[in-house]
Chain A
Amino acid sequence: KQEVTQIPAALSVPEGENLVLNCSFTDSAIYNLQWFRQDPGKGLTSLLLIQSSQREQTSGRLNASLDKSSGRSTLYIAASQPGDSATYLCAVPDDKLIFGTGTRLQVFP
Chain B
Amino acid sequence: DTAVSQTPKYLVTQMGNDKSIKCEQNLGHDTMYWYKQDSKKFLKIMFSYNNKELIINETVPNRFSPKSPDKAHLNLHINSLELGDSAVYFCASSQVGQGQAFFGQGTRLTVV
Contact = CB atoms under 8 A, between A and B. Distances in A.
Interface in A35-64: 36, 38, 41-46, 49, 51
B99 interface: yes
Contacts of A34: 99-101
B71 interface: no
B112 interface: no
Nearest to A93: B99
B64 interface: no
B100 A49 contact: yes
Given A43-B90, A96-B33, A99-B42, A49 B106 contact: no
B68 interface: no
B6 to A, nearest CB: 8
Contacts of A91: 101
B25 to A, nearest CB: 13
Interface of A: 31-32, 34, 36, 38, 41-46, 49, 51, 87, 89, 91, 93, 95-97, 99, 101-102, 104
Given A41-B108, A42-B105, A91-B101, 14 more contacts: A31-B99, A32-B99, A34-B100, A43-B103, A45-B103, A46-B101, A46-B102, A49-B100, A95-B48, A96-B48, A97-B45, A97-B101, A99-B42, A104-B41
